[in-house]
């Protein structure tokens, strides 16, 4: 499923490198030459010791925790009741290795920026743990080589080890799972392999599988939680992928349709989960006036202002979240009017309200 799904990121890198004309003729070859690592996947050592605070980008006891950031007018919860396990998206954008070193400064800096704009939405309801992990390089998403899956397997191994340590540190608190892109991909596997059918599934307030497609018919049945059907429902999965008009999602659908889900059946033609983050329900339409606040980042991405009432949303077709005319959020809109990079920031305040509502519902359930 990962094959080609993030082609669009490489497109931007290619353009930035000044080879836009050649891209028009040799796009796929250029992207692969520029981004796919050479050689074999290194035999990585066992997962790091996640009891060590240095192995976390965010943890309650870490100073200068990027996940504690809030925009003007908001503040972190004084006593967050839940524990959040957040897995950041791909931030290793070079081809030197198949898996990012844990101490790669550039990848970690980018990951911290993602935490500020994404994980921060949860810091009123839960304390946030976000691990460093040997993420698969971006180039792993651009090839069918066996090395690509090996790189993803290594990355997941770290995520799983971090989750086990998270469970020890979180105690018996309610659990919120959240991630984006590659991070969301690893969470689908975590739900399928580690949580489904176990007592842990009863502790999940909600799982935000954002920026990665989830098939309702071939993935969801084996992920251990249902799709969120109501705005005040707990113990369920939310997912969306944001596009402005006119949208071209062909790269996503072409790849999605060529893969198999957790059930072993083909995903071809199957609908994807589409949660409208404004309403908290699937298959719905909401006007911009119902959007509680979109993050508008500064040019250097070090700060952001939040502005309500700017962006509406509607789930359409097989499960795309359409946001209407393209809003001006910065220079990271991807080809096809794909607002993938902004999946959380478009609806930051609504996500914040959504998890607070679901946590309240979770706490009212009989034990």
Is residue 280 pLDDT above 60, yes or no? Answer: yes
Residues 6 or more apart from 121 whose CB is under 8 A from it? 344, 348, 349, 351, 352, 355
Q: What is the mean pLDDT of residues 268-290?
A: 97
Is residue 363 pLDDT above 60, yes or no? Answer: yes
Provide the percentage of residues in the chain whose pLDDT is more than 90.
67
Is residue 132 pLDDT above 90, yes or no? Answer: yes
What span, in angstroms and rounded, lies between the C-alpha atoms of 300 and 357? 33
* Residue 144, SS3 per DSSP: coil
Is residue 142 pLDDT above 60, yes or no? Answer: yes
Confidence bin at 63 (pLDDT 50/70/90): confident
Q: What is the mean pLDDT of residues 165-185?
A: 97
Query: Total domain count for the chain?
Result: 1
Q: Which residue has the tokens 């290795």?
A: 97
Q: Are 340 and 181 in contact (CB under 8 A)?
A: yes
Domain membership of residue 2 (yes or no) is: no
Strand pairing class (56-58; 126-131):
antiparallel
Q: Are 232 and 354 in contact (CB under 8 A)?
A: no
Q: What is the mean pLDDT of residues 9-15?
A: 37
Confidence bin at 2 (pLDDT 50/70/90): very low
Residues 6 or more apart from 18 whose CB is under 8 A from it? none
Provide the percentage of residues in the chain whose pLDDT is more than 70.
85
Domain membership of residue 198 (yes or no) is: yes
Greater confidence (358 vs 34) lies with 358
Q: What is the mean pLDDT of residues 239-255?
A: 90
Is residue 201 pLDDT above 50, yes or no? Answer: yes
Using CA of residue 251, residue 257, residue 258, residue 261, what is the dihedral sign? positive
Is residue 186 pLDDT above 60, yes or no? Answer: yes
Q: Are 311 and 327 in contact (CB under 8 A)?
A: yes
- Residue 120's pLDDT is what? 97
Domain membership of residue 160 (yes or no) is: yes
Q: What is the mean pLDDT of residues 330-338?
A: 80
Q: What is the mean pLDDT of residues 230-259?
A: 91
Q: What is the mean pLDDT of residues 154-159?
A: 96
Highest mean predicted confidence (pLDDT) among 35-49, 137-151, 200-214, 237-251: 200-214
Strand pairing class (313-316; 285-286):
antiparallel
Which stretches of 212-359 are assigned E, i.e. beta strand?
236-238, 242-243, 275-276, 281-282, 285-286, 294-297, 304-307, 313-316, 320-322
- Residue 36's pLDDT is what? 62
Confidence bin at 297 (pLDDT 50/70/90): confident
Question: Looking at 13-22, 224-233, 348-357, which range is the least confident one?
Answer: 13-22
Confidence bin at 210 (pLDDT 50/70/90): very high
Q: Are 240 and 252 in contact (CB under 8 A)?
A: no
Domain membership of residue 168 (yes or no) is: yes
Dihedral angle, C-alpha 12, 18, 20, 22, nearest 10 °: -130
- Residue 331's pLDDT is what? 73
- Residue 34's pLDDT is what? 55
Domain membership of residue 1 (yes or no) is: no
267: nearest Cα among 222, 216, 340 = 216
Q: What is the mean pLDDT of residues 235-261?
A: 91
Whether the ω angle into residue 338 lies within 30 degrees of 0, i.e. cis, is no
Domain membership of residue 298 (yes or no) is: yes
Domain membership of residue 91 (yes or no) is: yes
Write down the mean pLDDT value for the chain.
87
Domain of 121 in residue numbering reads as 7-40+52-363
Domain membership of residue 45 (yes or no) is: no
Question: Looking at 88-97, 211-220, 269-278, which range is the least confident one?
Answer: 88-97
């Amino acid at each position: 499923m990962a094959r080609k799904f993030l082609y669009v990121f490489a497109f931007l890198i290619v353009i930035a490198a000044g080879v836009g004309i050649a891209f028009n003729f040799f796009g796929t070859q250029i992207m692969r030459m520029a981004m796919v690592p050479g050689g074999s996947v290194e035999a990585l050592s066992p997962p790091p010791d996640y009891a060590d605070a240095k192995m976390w980008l965010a943890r309650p006891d870490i100073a200068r925790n990027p996940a504690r950031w809030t925009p003007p007018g908001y503040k972190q919860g004084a006593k967050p009741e839940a524990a959040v396990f957040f897995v950041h998206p791909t931030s290793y954008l070079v081809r030197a290795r198949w898996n990012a070193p844990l101490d790669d400064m550039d990848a970690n800096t980018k990951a911290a920026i993602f935490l500020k704009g994404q994980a921060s939405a949860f810091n009123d309801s839960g304390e946030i743990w976000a691990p460093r992990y040997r993420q698969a390089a971006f180039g792993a998403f651009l090839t069918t080589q066996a090395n690509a899956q090996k790189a993803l397997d290594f990355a997941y191994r770290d995520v799983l080890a971090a989750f086990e340590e998270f469970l020890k540190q979180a105690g018996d608190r309610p659990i919120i799972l959240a991630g984006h892109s590659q991070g969301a991909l690893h969470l689908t596997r975590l739900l399928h392999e580690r949580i489904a059918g176990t007592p842990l599934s009863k502790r999940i307030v909600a799982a935000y599988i954002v920026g990665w497609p989830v098939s309702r018919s071939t993935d969801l049945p084996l992920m251990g939680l249902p799709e969120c059907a109501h705005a005040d429902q707990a113990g369920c999965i939310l997912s969306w992928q944001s596009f402005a008009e006119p949208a071209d999602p062909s790269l996503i659908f072409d790849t999605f349709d060529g893969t198999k889900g957790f059930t072993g059946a083909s995903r071809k033609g199957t609908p994807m989960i589409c949660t409208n983050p404004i309403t908290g329900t699937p298959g719905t339409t909401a006007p911009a006036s119902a959007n509680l606040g979109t993050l508008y980042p500064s040019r250097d991405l070090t700060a952001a202002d939040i502005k309500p009432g700017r962006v509406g949303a509607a789930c359409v077709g097989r499960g795309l979240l359409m946001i209407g005319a393209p809003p001006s959020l910065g220079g990271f809109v991807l080809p096809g009017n794909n607002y993938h990079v902004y999946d959380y920031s478009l609806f930051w305040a609504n996500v914040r309200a959504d998890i607070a509502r679901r946590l309240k519902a979770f706490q009212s359930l009989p034990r």
